[in-house]
Amino acid sequence: MASALRAAGFIIYRRLKGNTEYLLLQTSYGEHHWTPPKGHVDPGEDEYQTALRETEEEAGLKAGHLNVNHDFKKILNYDVRGKPKKVVYWLAELKDSDISVTLSDEHIAYKWVPLLDACALAKYADLQEVLKDADAYVNSTSSSK
C-alpha cells in the first residue's frame, strides 16, 4: 500500500463582539473549494511545523499571532485522486482580531464566518465535523473562563 500523503493545518478562530468566527480560504485551483490553512508536510518537517509554515505562507499569520490549543487535534483520512491522504488539524485562536490575513497565490479569497456558514462553505462532511467539534470545544472552554 502506498504511504499516505500528509498535510497539516489549523482551524483558526477569533472572538469578535461575543461571536466566534472561523477562517476559511478559497483555493485558486480546482473547484475553488474553501478550507482552513493547511498544506503538505515537507521532508524533515513534523506535522506541527507544517501547520505553522503553511499558515504563515497561505494566510500571513505567524506563530506569534496564534494561541494554539494542543489538546484539540483532529486527523482526517481520505482519498485524493485515488491516493490516501492524512490531514492533521489543531485549533488556534487569533490573539488579536484586528490582524489582517494576507493571502498567497494559492488562494483567491478568505472569509471569517460563524460555524453554520463555515460548514456551508466547507462542503466535505469530515471537515464540517471537525469544524463542529472545534466550535463545541471553543464554547465549552469559553464558558468555563
Give residue-wise pLDDT tens across range 75-88.
999 988 899 999 99
Residue 145: what pLDDT? 46
| Distance of alpha carbon 59 from alpha carbon 47, whole angstroms | 18
Distances (CA, A) of 28 to 12, 35, 38, 104, 115: 20, 11, 14, 10, 23
Helix (H, G, I), strand (E, B) or coil at 27: strand
Whether the pLDDT of residue 91 is over 90: the answer is: yes
CA angle 55, 7, 65 (to 5 degrees): 20
Measured distance CA(24)–CA(127) in Å, rounded: 11
Go through the domains of the chain in sequence order and give each one's CATH number: 5-142 (3.90.79.10)
pLDDT digits (tens, 9 = 90+) for 103-136: 999 999 999 999 999 999 998 999 999 999 999 9
Of 136, 120, 95, residue with least CA distance to 24: 120
